[in-house]
Structure 1
Amino acid sequence: MNRILSGVGQVHLLLVLFSRYKQIVHGVRVFILKGCGNNAAQAA
């Protein structure tokens, strides 16, 4: 039972990290769009 719970905990941690990573990537894209304009968006 403990093994199952620790596995679920690891999966949950991965999902949290993944969602945070997606938020950071989205934030960086918005920052680049606002800072550099459309040229940076087309290059990326």
Structure 2
Amino acid sequence: MIAFFMNWISKRSFLPFVIYRVLLGTALIVLLSTGVLTPR
């Protein structure tokens, strides 16, 4: 997956990677705040 993103970034835009990371971070914050995930 990392190789795919590195290849994508070198040929196209960095924006899809930024969107992916923002969505992942938002999902993590929501799961932590609702108690679905617990920090160790």
TM tier, shorter chain? 0.5 to 0.7
Cα separation, 1, equivalents of 2:39 and 2:24:
16
Pairs aligned (count) = 31
Percent of residue pairs identical: 10
Residue 19 of structure 2 corresponds to residue 20 of structure 1: yes
- Decide which structure has greater helix share: 1
Q: CA RMSD in A?
A: 2.3
Identify unmatched segments of 5+ residues in structure 1.
1-7
Residue 33 of structure 2 corresponds to residue 41 of structure 1: no
Corresponding residue SS for 1:41: coil
Contact 2:32 2:39 in 1 (8 A): no
Larger Rg: 1
Identify unmatched segments of 5+ residues in structure 2.
1-9
Runs of 4 or more above 6 Å deviation? none
CA offset at residue 16 of structure 1?
A: 0.3
